[in-house]
């Protein structure tokens, strides 16, 4: 068993969704990871215990404020990184 920050999954899902509809910005692997890191540094971690990759605890994904916060931070991450790509 190990602890895992489930927020990483949520942020990367949200990032994929938003980048899918984003305009003319760099969407390379480096930028995607920079965006994910930027958002993850500003969102509270959601640690869960996993065993063999299985998620035991479902988190408060249904909470509207929780989703609004994630959407806001991921959107800001995309704006920030796409303005200043580190490559």
Contact residues for Zn ion (CB under 5 A)?
26, 28, 31, 85
Q: Are 54 and 11 in contact (CB under 8 A)?
A: no
6 or 74, CB closer to Zn ion?
74
6 or 82, CB closer to Zn ion?
82
**CA atoms of 77 and 36, how far apart (whole Å):** 7
Q: Shortest gap between Cβ of 26 and Zn ion (angstroms)?
A: 3
21 or 65, CB closer to Zn ion?
21
Nearest to 78 by CA among 34, 45, 42: 34
């Amino acid at each position: 068993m190990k602890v895992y920050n489930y927020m990483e999954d949520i942020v990367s899902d949200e990032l994929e969704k938003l980048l899918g509809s984003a305009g003319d910005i760099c969407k390379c692997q480096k930028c995607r990871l920079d965006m994910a890191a930027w958002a993850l540094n500003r969102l509270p971690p959601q640690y869960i215990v996993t065993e063999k990759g299985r998620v035991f605890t479902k988190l408060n994904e249904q909470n509207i404020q929780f989703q609004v916060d994630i959407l806001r931070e991921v959107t800001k991450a995309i704006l920030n990184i796409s303005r200043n790509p580190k490559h």
